[in-house]
Amino acid sequence: MNRPLQVTVLGATGSIGLSTLDVIARHPDRYAVFALTGFSRLAELRALCLVHRPRFAVAADEAQARALQQQLREDGLTTQVMSGEGGLSEVAAHPETDVVMAAIVGAAGLKPTLAAVQSGKRVLLANKEALVMSGALFMRALRDSGAVLLPIDSEHNAIFQCLPSAYSQGLGSVGVRRILLTASGGPFREFAPERLIDVTPEQACAHPNWSMGRKISVDSASMMNKGLELIEACWLFDAHPNQVEVVIHPQSVIHSMVDYVDGSVLAQLGNPDMRTPIAHALAWPERIESGVSALDLLQIGRLDFQAPDDSRFPCLQLARQSAENGGTAPAMLNAANEVAVEAFLNRRIRFTEIASIIDDVLNREAPVAVGCLEDVLAADRCARERAGQWLGRNGR
């Protein structure tokens, strides 16, 4: 029997990472945990190491790595602990790593995810920001290395399942008219726009369908998450922004659809559980059991759809504009959003000011063409600085 595939989980202590480990544990003959990263969540990372016994673990810095190394030695584990961005990239590109789950949230996941792609791994992409920020560079590295990229966001995984393999030659060549990217609408789908000024972080993080981290939950509430997914879809499926339409679907049962020129619309349905796309990508082109219960359409009873309201969700339109502008615009959009969301979670700004900060940053800095990774990182730094200046000007 072939050896189990060695899986590195970047962002193991987050919701995607934990769901990945749950699926892996169901198939010990097929998969083994090679490396786990948890950065500053040392207690959670230590607990995961005790269960999965990886060869490597990665913590945030050298001090935390030394502390975790000592604890794991006392636990009787031989796991080697590394640190920092260098450690993340090293385990992602390690010669013995077969599969990399890229589940670090935000811009912090860019370099290790790119390292995995450049090393020709099977990359399970949950870190949409890596592709949003460096789309052209990312896709070029993918082509040059021969890596296999499989989307983990439920929407992109659904689109992937609904497209024929030949779509890589262009959506038009396989008769695709448009991609329908579904969105739950988040907790504020029914809120009047004027009510949004007073919503709290707790309200924004109370997603009606999905269990996610705080940052992604806020992005879902503002629909910036869907905007980032729109940009990601353009790169993943070689689509123009006007070929991607966002549709609010409150039940989160249809994860996305593909509309063909002959009138056919193919959809992927399932319970809102991230173990489904994770299992699909881990085993592709095969299918394995994920632990997700069967979908009961009779119990669901109805499926609703509506168009997003731009006055309620201005972040979605800002993301679409960035996709159309190209160059460094998506990287600036992402960076400004990260600063704004952190400020909102820390109660420094109102929910509605997230879009205000992003809009201000995008209007102050014209996008430029991306020639190398430093161009992306420079745009990211500049946007964060501009967002910080907005906070300073407005006494936040």
- Mention every residue, 6+ apart, whose C-beta is less than 8 A from residue 264: none
Measure the CA–CA gap between 332 and 264, rounded to whole angstroms.
37
128 is in an annotated binding site: yes
380's tokens: 């990211």
- Residue ranges in 119-175 assigned as alpha helix (H): 128-145, 154-162
184 is in an annotated binding site: yes
DSSP letter for 109, please. Answer: G
16 is in an annotated binding site: yes
- Mention every residue, 6+ apart, whose C-beta is less than 8 A from residue 106: 127, 129, 215, 334, 338
User: pTM of the prediction?
Assistant: 0.93
13 is in an annotated binding site: yes
354 is in an annotated binding site: no
Cα 53 to Cα 57, 85, 94, 97: the distances in Å are 9, 22, 17, 15
322 is in an annotated binding site: no
229 is in an annotated binding site: yes
Measure the CA–CA gap between 100 and 119, rounded to whole angstroms.
11
- Mention every residue, 6+ apart, whose C-beta is less than 8 A from residue 29: 1, 4
Q: What is the pLDDT of residue 211?
A: 65
Residue 77, number of CB atoms within 10 A of its CB: 17
Residue pair 13/103 in contact by the 8 Å Cβ criterion: no
Q: For helices 62-74 and 42-52, what crossing angle results, to 10°?
A: 40
Q: pLDDT tens string for the chain (396 positions)?
A: 489 999 999 999 999 999 999 999 999 999 999 999 998 789 999 999 999 999 999 999 999 999 999 999 999 999 999 999 999 999 999 999 999 999 998 888 999 999 999 999 999 999 988 999 999 999 999 999 999 999 999 999 999 999 997 676 678 889 999 999 999 998 999 899 999 999 999 999 987 776 678 898 999 999 999 999 999 999 999 999 999 999 999 999 999 999 999 999 999 999 999 999 999 999 999 999 999 999 999 999 999 999 999 889 999 999 999 999 999 999 999 999 999 999 999 999 999 999 999 999 999 989 999 999 999 999 999 999 999 999 999 988
Measure the CA–CA gap between 334 and 361, rounded to whole angstroms.
11
The pair phi, psi for residue 265, each rounded to 5°, is -125, 115
207 is in an annotated binding site: yes
Q: Which residue has the tokens 């679409």?
A: 320
Q: How far is C-alpha 143 from the geometric centre of its chain's CA atoms?
A: 21
Q: What is the pLDDT of residue 1?
A: 46
Interval 137-193: pLDDT, tens: 999 999 999 999 999 999 999 999 999 976 766 788 899 999 999 999 989 998 999
307's tokens: 């168009």
Cα-based torsion angle of the residue sequence 234, 387, 354, 323 in order, rounded to the nearest 10 degrees: -10
14 is in an annotated binding site: yes
385 is in an annotated binding site: no
Residue 393, number of CB atoms within 10 A of its CB: 9
Residue pair 61/70 in contact by the 8 Å Cβ criterion: no
111 is in an annotated binding site: no
Q: What is the pLDDT of residue 151?
A: 97
The sheet carrying 176-183 orders its strands as 244-248, 176-183, 254-260, 265-269
Measure the CA–CA gap between 328 and 322, rounded to whole angstroms.
9
219 is in an annotated binding site: no
309 is in an annotated binding site: no
Q: What is the pLDDT of residue 107?
A: 86
Q: What is the pLDDT of residue 166?
A: 66
Q: What is the pLDDT of residue 210?
A: 65
281's tokens: 């990508």
Residue 126, number of CB atoms within 10 A of its CB: 30
